[in-house]
Structure 1
């Protein structure tokens, strides 16, 4: 437990502190090349479990019997060390993605297009905000694609290293999109767009990634990129 009366320290300050030594023990400096290497390191096992916990929390999938008329898309793990501005490893990130290249249009997905903000649009957005002296807030949505409900029925194999021992023959039917699926960007955009419009935002007619809402003399702009 930290001392509440102690000043907050940055990671740069912690570099010469015993706390940094303890912090270093909780992350791995080596990125696994395959599932065998990942399963041999407790820190990467924890990272993969954290990813699967997000799947459960967001109700991304359900374990079902394999459907004979549906193709099963395989999954793969990606492992990446996240670093801070000093290139110090601060987190081990594992991401489970679908091998979307095996998807067939009209069978596994109907539409994959999602509006994407052009760089020029972002420049105009920033320039307008600066001209009006508007504050700008930037944010990132954690595991964004896992929030997008799927319109199509998609089944994926169980992930390497985490196969249900009681039901190894079963597959997962997706309720929401996975990274790697061709329709994942579209599913996420549709969900975010629906949420913003339900809160009173208006979608741009020329730029569908720009949403606005007015409160009397005030205006709030949201640019998705």
Structure 2
């Protein structure tokens, strides 16, 4: 919680003002989360002061909303290129990403206990427009460094320099960097760290809940969602279930009988 307060202070998130007559305030609350690695081990504890954005009114204190996430197909294509060309693949994490976006609307939020006077108004977690404002800020910043946005997927960026290339994949606060040149990769990392509060996770091994297993000599990059699947099984108390063998019991491990063949006439017609 103290880290969150310091982040808000360094980002100059809000001004302390008197509420104008007739204006509605947006409440806030603390949200706690435990970050875990691919094996389920606790990495760190996080606390976020979140605005109750569900009380905002469209056209009054927000307009457009969306989260900057790359498409799954784009992610797979980048991973295929990484495996094929055997390039460097690193990961960075943006700390308090939503505190970077500039807020253009007037939003009056009730102050949490222990807050101090701030000098500039910025976005905050929980506001409906927070993710969009973060994207606009990041887009403007990364373009100034020579990156170009992909026309099909706005969260994929590329930069080409002296025959070398680097791809950047943005997924809210997770950033993947795939580069054919280590110097270009380090140069990009330094630029990002100079503009945002970044955490360098070095070589990517666990991204968006996906484990990565790489063999550069064979040109193979394996992706596994084992941790995600196990979490789903635990959520529905199925993690201790064992697969039934067709030869040992009458129950089937799948809702169809083994050996059944289906024809084209049984496919959906729409």
* TM-score for both structures, normalised by structure 2: 0.58
Give runs of aligned pairs for residues 164-175 of structure 1, distance below 5 A.
175=121
Question: Where does residue 67 of structure 1 map in the other structure?
Answer: 20
Q: What are structure 2's unaligned runs of at least 5 residues?
A: 172-270
Output the CA distance in 2 between the equivalents of 1:130 and 1:90: 28
Q: What are structure 1's unaligned runs of at least 5 residues?
A: 1-47, 165-170
1:104: Cα distance to partner?
Answer: 0.6
Question: Where does residue 154 of structure 2 map in the other structure?
Answer: 208
Q: Cα 1:134–1:89, aligned 2, differ >3 Å: closer, same or farther?
A: closer
Q: Is the 8 A contact 1:112 1:186 kept in 2?
A: yes
Q: Cα 1:174–1:97, aligned 2, differ >3 Å: closer, same or farther?
A: farther
Tell me the SS of whatever aligns to 2:114: coil
Question: Where does residue 35 of structure 1 map in the other structure?
Answer: none
Tell me the SS of whatever aligns to 1:137: strand
Of 123, 130, 137, which aligns to 1:191? 137
Deviations 1:21-54 (A, max 9, x none): xxxxxxxxxxxxxxxxxxxxxxxxxxx2221111
Question: Where does residue 96 of structure 2 map in the other structure?
Answer: 143
1:90: Cα distance to partner?
Answer: 5.2
Output the CA distance in 2 between the equivalents of 1:127 and 1:221: 12
Of 114, 139, 156, which aligns to 1:162? 114
Question: Where does residue 108 of structure 1 map in the other structure?
Answer: 61
Pair 1:57-2:17 in alignment: no
Output the CA distance in 2 between the equivalents of 1:190 and 1:91: 29
Aligned pair count reads 171
Q: Which has the higher strand share?
A: 2
For the aligned residues, what is the CA RMSD? 2.2
Moved more, 115-124 or 183-192: 115-124
Q: Is the 8 A contact 1:75 1:98 kept in 2?
A: yes
* Bigger Rg, which one: 2
Output the CA distance in 2 between the equivalents of 1:102 and 1:69: 15
